[in-house]
Amino acid sequence: MNRLISFRGGLASFFPSFIPAFFFLACLSGALFIGADTHAADLAPRALSLEEAATLALRRQPQLLAQQAAVAALVEAAPAAGQLPDPKLRVGLLSLPVDTFNFDQEAMTQASIGISQLIPGGDKRRLATVRVEREAAQGDQALAAIAQRISRDARLAWLDVYSPSAAEALVGKVEAEYQRQVEWSEVAYKTNKISQDETLALRGMLESTRDRLAELARQRNHALVGLARWVGSEARRPLDTLPTAAPPAPLSELLEKLGRHPELTALNEAVAVAQSEVAQAREAYKPDWSVDLSYGLRGGNRADLVSFVVGVDLPVFTANRQDKRLASRLAGVERAEQTRLDRYQSLKAELEAAYADWQSADSRIAHYAREILPLAGRRVESALAAYGGDRANYSRVLEARRAETEARLQLLAQQVARAKALAQIRYFSAL
């Protein structure tokens, strides 16, 4: 009895010291596990969203850098285009007798130094500056168009990766279900519950599903190469979910703003460049001038000489020079205007087609959500109820689930089609 009491006393003295230590160790272990999970979550790659892909594509993009350099070159060249030509310095000996080479023998002999300057006539210098400035403005608008095109292409590349990736997840569920049924069918066949034909049919569906997964993986890997073209190594990150974008503005409003698209404004500047070349061709009828000043040093105590000469071009044969050049520049204006009109009609047709694609995909998505998917879900429920009541075999359930998966795959295809159409519309409507 005394030993029992002493044992109880020992327990009473043991637990008060053991319990706090136990809880301390448990809390410490939990904190370590939580910290490890948090650290692992921090190290996990962040999902790549559609808009982030478009933003990343614009960073250090060679196309943009090349166009920026081209614009900078034109901006720097504009002031130089309107400057006077460099003057010319002339140094020489004039009328030196070759029999004696004596500098003092002849009165005409002299050492001459002179400077000459060409002065373009009319408004040629200003027009030359205007032409280069127009080219710079055209390059600047082309830069904006390239940036929009890169953003659009990056979004389309992201969607090309997203489509097979999301389809893989849906088909993977069907593959896992077929795998379980194949394993069950092998046992059921050995116990004579099902026939060999049913077992082989299940295995055939499993292998067909695996082949479909392999094709989706090929499409995904192929699309990843296209996405890496724009975002580099960031393409290896997992993709975020497909964003829900707001519907576009009415088509009439988009068409009204289409004329301000950077591609068309760049072509407007191309027309302005061609018109400035016409102005330069008209100004070519005005003659250029030259001024020549020289100093002649003579020997034999003779007086030095100063010469001043003014020269002027005589544009008297204009039929085969200035007239032809002007006709050529006028044809260039016509070409630039027709190119702009053709591109406007092309962009208008592409915008209308993209808008029609968006309307069709949006309508079909609503139909799938309202009719097709609920019907497919009720078919699965009906098949499960029939199987549970021994009124049908499990293949009926599998077929119902396969049909539901196919409906979800079609819905996914329409969601991607709508997103691609919105990416195109955004390209045409962004100003």
> Is residue 25 included in any domain, yes or no?
no
Domain of 401, CATH number, reads 1.20.1600.10
Calculated CA dihedral for residues 137, 139, 145, 147, nearest 10 degrees: -120
> Is residue 82 included in any domain, yes or no?
yes
The radius of gyration of the chain from alpha carbons, rounded to an integer in Å, stands at 42
- Is the pLDDT reported for residue 202 higher than 70? yes
pLDDT class for 245, splitting at 50, 70, 90? confident
Place of tokens 């892909």: 53
pLDDT > 70 fraction of the chain, expressed in percent and rounded: 89
Q: What is the total count of domains within the chain? A: 1
> Is residue 192 included in any domain, yes or no?
yes
Q: For the segment 170-190, what is each residue's pLDDT rounded down to a tens digit?
A: 999 888 988 888 888 788 778
- Is the pLDDT reported for residue 3 higher than 60? no
Mean pLDDT of 104-108: 84
> Is residue 307 included in any domain, yes or no?
yes
The neighbour count for residue 261, using CB atoms within 10 Å, is 23
Q: For the segment 270-286, what is each residue's pLDDT rounded down to a tens digit?
A: 999 999 999 999 999 99
Question: What's the chain's average pLDDT?
Answer: 86
> Is residue 8 included in any domain, yes or no?
no
> Is residue 88 included in any domain, yes or no?
yes
pLDDT class for 21, splitting at 50, 70, 90? very low
Q: For the segment 381-392, what is each residue's pLDDT rounded down to a tens digit?
A: 998 888 778 787
Domain range for 402 is 56-429
Place of tokens 């060409």: 118
pLDDT > 90 fraction of the chain, expressed in percent and rounded: 64
> Is residue 36 included in any domain, yes or no?
no
Locate 137 and state its tokens: 């403005």
The neighbour count for residue 364, using CB atoms within 10 Å, is 18
Sign of torsion over alpha carbons 48, 49, 52, 53:
positive
Mean pLDDT of 19-36: 43
Mean pLDDT of 253-267: 94
**First-to-last CA distance in the chain?**
95
> Is residue 134 included in any domain, yes or no?
yes
Mean pLDDT of 338-354: 96
